[in-house]
Each structure stands twice: as C-alpha cells, then as structure tokens.
C-alpha cells in the first residue's frame, strides 16, 4: 500500500488530482461551516440580486440574490453524494456479476455478459430522461438512471480480470493445496481484480458529476432551490452575458472537480498496470 502512495507522489498530475479531490471532499463535508452565507441554500434576497463579484460576495450573487460562492460550496456536497451513490451502487451490482460470469463459463456466463451488452447500449442520458418522466424529475431519478446504466462497465472489467486470474498460476496453486471456490474467488481473485476497478471508479466519479450536472442543467435532476452546479448554470442562461459570474463559477467548479478525478484516476492507472506487469 505504502509503495503505491510513494509511486503516486512522483506523478505530478496525479498529485494535483489527489489534491483537488481531497479539497472538494473537505468542502463537501464542511460545507455549511465554510460557506459565508449558508442560509442561501434556500433563502432569497431580491435586494441584492445579480451583483458582480466583490469582497462581500466573491463569486457575485444570482438572480435571487443568493451568494454564489456559498452555493458553489454547498453544491459540492450534492455533487459528491450523487457521484458516490451512483458509483458504489454500480459497483455493488456490477462487480459480483463480473465475478460470477468470469469464474465459471457456460450459459450463466454467457447470459450475464449478453445482458451486460444490452444495457451498455442504452444511453445514460436518454434513460435518465425517460425515468425522469416516469418518476418526476428529481435527484433520485437521476441517480437511479445513472446507476442502472453504469454497472456494465464494472462487470466487463471484472469479467476480464476474473477470467485471466482463474487461469493464472497462483489460482492453480491454490486449487493444488485444496482451496475451495469461494476462498479463491473472494479472497484471491477479487482483491487482484480490484485494481482496474478502482481506476475505473475514480474516473467514474468525475464522469458522474459531469452527467449529473448535465441532467441538472436539463432540469431532469436536482430541483430548485437546491444549490446544484448544473442547475445553477441552467438558471444562469437568461442572465448571460451580462451576469457572466453566474455561469462561470459553477462551471469552473464542475471543470476542476471532474479534472481532479480524471487526473487521479489516470495516475492510479499508471501505477497499477506497470506494477502488475513487473511483479509477474
């Protein structure tokens, strides 16, 4: 574990990504404590609407006079919680399916992988829109749609890794000393298969934030007055280009956060792959 972190520390972009992710995490956790106007999550102050950035309001105010700086900070919590929920749900569904499909071949494996193929063909946004219509647009419908369309990525990765590992020499050696299937799959194959899964999950977190922002922008995700980044950009449209600060800062928040996850994921991928190659 430690040597992984040491290797990561030499990869500058990855460290930058890690820094951004940790920063966003801290903001999400401490949100209300850090925001200068925490009540602006819901309250409105029409007297100070659409003020440009100033000392009192570093990111300016929006059309309801709410401090954008505070709302960006508060929005981090929403963004991260969507991302974590979606990715962990997708992993909970996808990883076990991949393990089952990969270890034993036959009809079960074929069946699982074909279902995976079908679900992969469904575009995330389209499903989200459909579900939003069915369930009425909300954060929950967005999360459900995204989870249901993201698990196949994990299944594919885990399937490939499980197949490769089932044929590997150390699994053969385990069978030789009498290890049973569940021991082999859960204690040996799973930890070995997790490396690419973690890389995928990290990048997936960033990706989900982006998609959630798009859904929010389309009105199919978070609903007003939630301080959602995508929603803020949607609301800002009517006031552009005069109130440029309204769209810019939530947009930057999305950009930096997603970039942070991507950089970290890339860095993890770089150390995971060569390490495996070298120790084999």
Partner 1 sequence: MTADPILMLRDVSVRLGGRKGFLQRTIPPVQAVKQVSLDLRGGEILSLVGESGCGKTTLGRTILGLQRESAGDILLEGSTVSGLAPEAARLARSIVQYAHQDAGAALDPWWSIGRTLEEGLKIHGVGNASERRDRVAAMLQAVGLDATSARRYPHEFSGGQLRRLALARILLLQPRVLILDEPTSGLDMSVQATVLNLLLELRERFALTYLFISHDLSVVERLSDRVAIMYLGRIVEMGPAKDVFARPTHPYTRTLLAAAPRLSGRRASGSSLVRGDPPNPALVLPGCAFFDRCPLAEAACQEAAPRLESVAAGHEVACYRAFIEQTASRSVLRHA
- The residue ranges that bind partner 1 (CB under 8 A) are 168-170, 172-180, 183, 188, 191-192, 276, 278-280
Q: Which is nearer to partner 1, 10 or 183 (CB)?
A: 183
Q: Which is nearer to partner 1, 81 or 168 (CB)?
A: 168
Least Å distance, CB 80 to partner 1, is 29
Q: Give the phi and the psi of residue 56 in degrees, each rounded to 5.
A: -75, -35
Least Å distance, CB 38 to partner 1, is 44
Least Å distance, CB 119 to partner 1, is 23
* Sequence-ordered list of residues with C-beta below 8 angstroms from that of 230, at least 6 positions apart, any chain: 212, 213, 214, 215, 216, 217, 221, 222, 250, 254
Q: Which is nearer to partner 1, 242 or 277 (CB)?
A: 277
Least Å distance, CB 189 to partner 1, is 9
- How far apart CA 246 and CA 236 sit, in angstroms, is 6
User: What DSSP string describes 9-59?
Assistant: TT-HHHHHHHHHHHHHHHHHHHHHHH-S-GGGGT---GGGTTPPS-SSSTT
- How far apart CA 47 and CA 65 sit, in angstroms, is 7
Q: Which is nearer to partner 1, 111 or 191 (CB)?
A: 191
């Amino acid at each position: 574990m430690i040597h992984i972190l040491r290797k990561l520390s030499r990869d500058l972009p990855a460290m930058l990504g890690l820094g951004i992710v940790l920063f966003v995490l801290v903001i999400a956790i401490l949100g209300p404590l850090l925001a200068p106007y925490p009540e602006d999550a819901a309250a409105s102050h029409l007297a100070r609407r659409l003020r440009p950035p100033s000392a009192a309001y570093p990111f300016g105010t929006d059309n309801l006079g709410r401090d954008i700086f505070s709302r960006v900070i508060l929005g981090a919590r929403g963004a991260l919680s969507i991302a974590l929920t979606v990715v962990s749900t997708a992993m909970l569904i996808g990883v076990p399916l991949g393990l089952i499909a990969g270890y034993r071949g036959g009809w079960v494996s074929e069946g699982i992988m074909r279902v995976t193929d079908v679900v992969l063909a469904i575009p995330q946004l389209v499903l989200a829109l459909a579900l939003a219509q069915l369930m009425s647009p909300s954060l929950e419908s967005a999360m459900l749609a995204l989870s249901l369309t993201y698990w196949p990525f994990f299944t594919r990765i885990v399937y490939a890794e499980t197949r490769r590992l089932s044929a590997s020499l150390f699994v053969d050696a385990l069978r030789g000393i009498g290890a049973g299937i569940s021991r082999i799959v859960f204690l040996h194959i799973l930890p070995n298969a997790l490396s690419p899964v973690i890389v995928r999950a990290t990048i997936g977190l960033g990706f989900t934030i982006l998609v959630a922002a798009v859904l929010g922008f389309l009105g199919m995700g978070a609903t007003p007055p939630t301080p959602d980044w995508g929603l803020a950009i949607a609301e800002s449209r009517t006031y552009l280009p005069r109130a440029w600060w309204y769209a810019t800062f939530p947009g930057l928040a999305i950009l930096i956060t997603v970039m942070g996850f991507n950089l970290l994921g890339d860095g993890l991928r770089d150390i995971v792959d060569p390490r495996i190659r070298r120790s084999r």
